[in-house]
A and B are shown apart, each in its own frame.
Chain A
């Protein structure tokens, strides 16, 4: 992916996005000397690099993921670090706690790598703000015009209503979301007056990192802790359980008796993917931009060039080109091809497994 205008600033190498002038990588998929990390999900933050640079608010999560002894330079949002003459700064991406857009400036040219990002309200993460730039590298996980997110208040009131209805039918509510990011966003949106909130062990680990980072979350109880103190005979049905998607369909769920299951994800906007999950409910709650948000971001950044990655890159790049933007798709390692959005959030599902000290015991 050589682009003459930006060849010093950013190229795509076999290890991922690379800044030749600064000699560092962004979210490399192989161990490298210096890695700038957009956020702590495992398809972006990979172990084994000699040095990491990431947002200070992502430090707890990154150390949980990558090990406590990683060599990490944690910087505040907006703080400029100069690497071999390239001015690097991190800015909120709104995706999860500590998620960043990476801004690179070299010889008056500015590139911004969004990482994963969203514009919708989320009290557990800093809000995204667009950054004017010459080159924008944007994700396109939900880059099709069928994706229009409902407002999160509406989604949370649906979730709380569902919880109440389950309670009245004597069923325990089980809602699935990735253990880092989505789970905490769900937790923060639950109505505590409805009943107790329980968390799977993997989610609990994520919660701790959020709390230690100073994010306010409603109190919740770790399932294994409750069982350790109160034994196995517990009536769960008034409560709601937050668990990673990998817990679905496992024997771990048996303890809850009658359950109603739900998935919280942007993919739930599509009937086919919703039904394929075989859950009782699907709530449309995404930590990525939807179609209008993607377009509005581009309009606000006004880049000369756009590289589209992670998701429907070919389709989005073609559309943007027709609208007069200089856009092209960027192939990444994570997807076999650009038109396959279906597996991306699954990749993040898998991330759960790297933090599961107890996915079975919960």
Chain B
């Protein structure tokens, strides 16, 4: 546990990816498999089910710190991180944690779930006393299921691969899907002699990079396969050993959520893996993402919902054909395989993502401008000669997104942020004019520089009109240009419109609040 806390601290202290990889290598090279397995589990973002509700932890910490609960809450509001607040209000002694990570998780933390309140309280307070402030912080994060750390799956994979002397691709593949953090799992993970992976596991997804400069720099347009960039649920469909598995990019099994797709089990040959997007699709046209959203998160799908929002799998790549991993074959060949498979799958809700053809980049640009008619976010550009890469590899796939919608809105409320922005007012609510009144229409958290955030933070403190819990309404004085991807009528929103991915484009110092846009102007953007 001490080593794991040191690892956490070392990762937290650096912003440099090479250093993060180095400290992970250092850890994994020394850790026992039982501990390493749990470390992989936590570093890859997996969590223990919340073991104790945080209301109880707040009370116990305030008792240990000998402070009233309101003071703990005020402090938390300022610090912005509960695990940190609970750890830091307790004064440090010279205690230093003993015991391994595996023992802590399996013998101390997991059993908390089945204890009485009283036993939990005694146990947690006792654990806190055995630790330094940083160790308590890590412990609290584990207990509350909010452990987060600044390493990507890619960096973790790199570190393990270098310790195990395996390729990044094979470690990435072994880390896909659901696994239990057992010593056996870790030993298998780093075993260079082990060949196969479980048949239900997906391949690591290939991700696209945004076009940063002009598309002309990519060379000839006819070297690229061009498709719509769909706004749905990215998924891999696997048919092996007569079973069908559908995995989302978040590595969740989702075949149960989409009954329309179960026919694929009959229609696809064994030894097939397809990559594509699940879209709400009706009368030959994709529906807006907001429609598909109604199906996400529902475990049981009613008949009405299925009739209203039917889905299809829009396939764009074939990763395994006839039991063979063909990711290293050129895209042109993989597309032929895909075509063959989909043509044979006559019954199922599956189609090949249409190819967009134009004679040059200008022609494609014209198509890109029309993408919203197809509920797409732009175009995907994939070299015909490219292999199927692991993760966000440069030079493989490009996304050429449509320029976002933009509108000038007035900042009307703010709330304190979390993490790096904790203790500053960085979560903003924006409004537009409607018959002389400002109506809330979007929240945005990102887009300003650190220095601008500090200025807005000061502004909020000095121009507060009213406070509602953590939220402050402010004088409507600041105008910001917001960007967003899409808009959709909504009954749940006061403005009657829901916008997708709103973010701040820039601070319009040159505009007065009365020059901001109106709700009508927002609605007109969509037409």
How many residues on the B side are at the interface (Cβ–Cβ under 8 A)? 35
The answer to whether A339 touches B74 (Cβ under 8 A) is: yes
The answer to whether A340 touches B74 (Cβ under 8 A) is: no
The answer to whether A145 touches B78 (Cβ under 8 A) is: no
CB closest residue in chain B, given A280: B14
The B-contacting residues of A in range 325-362, CB under 8 angstroms, are: 336-337, 339-343
Query: Is the CB of A255 closer than 8 A to any CB of chain B?
Result: no
Closest chain A CB from B361 CB (angstroms): 38
The answer to whether A276 touches B461 (Cβ under 8 A) is: no
CB closest residue in chain A, given B91: A148
Closest chain B CB from A343 CB (angstroms): 7
Query: Is the CB of A217 closer than 8 A to any CB of chain B?
Result: no
The answer to whether B75 touches A276 (Cβ under 8 A) is: no
The answer to whether A144 touches B75 (Cβ under 8 A) is: yes
The answer to whether A270 touches B450 (Cβ under 8 A) is: no
- Residues of B contacting A196 in the complex (Cβ-Cβ under 8 angstroms): none
- Interchain Cβ contacts within 8 Å, total number: 78
Given contacts A144-B78, A146-B85, A339-B78, contact A272 B422 (CB under 8 A): yes
CB closest residue in chain B, given A312: B78
Query: Is the CB of B194 closer than 8 A to any CB of chain A?
Result: no
The answer to whether A146 touches B461 (Cβ under 8 A) is: no
Given contacts A278-B450, A342-B423, contact A145 B14 (CB under 8 A): no
Contact with B along A301-323 (1 / 0, CB 8 A): 00000000000100100010010
| CA–CA, A339 and B423, complex, Å | 10
The B-contacting residues of A in range 247-278, CB under 8 angstroms, are: 269-273, 275-276, 278
Interface of B is mostly: helix
The answer to whether B65 touches A145 (Cβ under 8 A) is: yes
Contact of B79 among A146, A280, A337, A340 (CB under 8 A): A146
The answer to whether A272 touches B74 (Cβ under 8 A) is: no
Contact with A along B52-96 (1 / 0, CB 8 A): 000000000000010110011011001111001100110110000
Contact with A along B405-440 (1 / 0, CB 8 A): 000000000000011111110000000000000000
The answer to whether A337 touches B88 (Cβ under 8 A) is: no
- Residues of A contacting B71 in the complex (Cβ-Cβ under 8 angstroms): 145, 315, 319
CB closest residue in chain A, given B463: A336
Contact with A along B382-420 (1 / 0, CB 8 A): 000000000000000000000000000000000000111
Query: Is the CB of B462 closer than 8 A to any CB of chain A?
Result: yes
- Residues of A contacting B12 in the complex (Cβ-Cβ under 8 angstroms): 271
- Residues of B contacting A222 in the complex (Cβ-Cβ under 8 angstroms): none
| CA–CA, A181 and B308, complex, Å | 69
Closest chain A CB from B418 CB (angstroms): 8
Closest chain B CB from A165 CB (angstroms): 11
- Residues of A contacting B81 in the complex (Cβ-Cβ under 8 angstroms): 271-272
Query: Is the CB of A63 closer than 8 A to any CB of chain B?
Result: no
Closest chain A CB from B131 CB (angstroms): 14
The answer to whether A272 touches B421 (Cβ under 8 A) is: yes
CB closest residue in chain A, given B450: A276
The answer to whether B461 touches A145 (Cβ under 8 A) is: no
Closest chain A CB from B353 CB (angstroms): 41
- Residues of A contacting B450 in the complex (Cβ-Cβ under 8 angstroms): 276, 278
Query: Is the CB of A292 closer than 8 A to any CB of chain B?
Result: yes
Contact of B420 among A276, A280, A281, A315 (CB under 8 A): A276
| CA–CA, A276 and B81, complex, Å | 14
- Residues of A contacting B420 in the complex (Cβ-Cβ under 8 angstroms): 272, 275-276
CB closest residue in chain B, given A335: B461
- Residues of A contacting B72 in the complex (Cβ-Cβ under 8 angstroms): 145
Query: Is the CB of B13 closer than 8 A to any CB of chain A?
Result: yes
Contact with B along A1-38 (1 / 0, CB 8 A): 00000000000000000000000000000000000000
| CA–CA, A292 and B133, complex, Å | 16
- Residues of A contacting B74 in the complex (Cβ-Cβ under 8 angstroms): 144, 315, 339
The answer to whether B75 touches A319 (Cβ under 8 A) is: no
- Residues of B contacting A339 in the complex (Cβ-Cβ under 8 angstroms): 74, 78
Contact with B along A230-259 (1 / 0, CB 8 A): 000000000000000000000000000000
CB<8 Å pairs between A and B, sample of 12: A144-B74, A144-B78, A145-B72, A145-B89, A146-B88, A269-B88, A273-B423, A275-B419, A276-B421, A336-B458, A336-B462, A341-B78
Residues of A within 8 A of B (CB): 144-148, 150, 269-273, 275-276, 278, 280-281, 292, 312, 315, 319, 322, 336-337, 339-343
Shortest 5 CB-CB distances between A and B: which pairs? A272-B422, A146-B88, A336-B461, A275-B420, A145-B89
18 additional contacts (CB under 8 A) given A150-B92, A272-B418, A315-B74: A144-B79, A145-B67, A145-B72, A146-B75, A146-B84, A146-B85, A271-B12, A271-B84, A273-B422, A276-B424, A278-B15, A280-B15, A319-B68, A319-B71, A337-B464, A341-B78, A342-B424, A342-B457
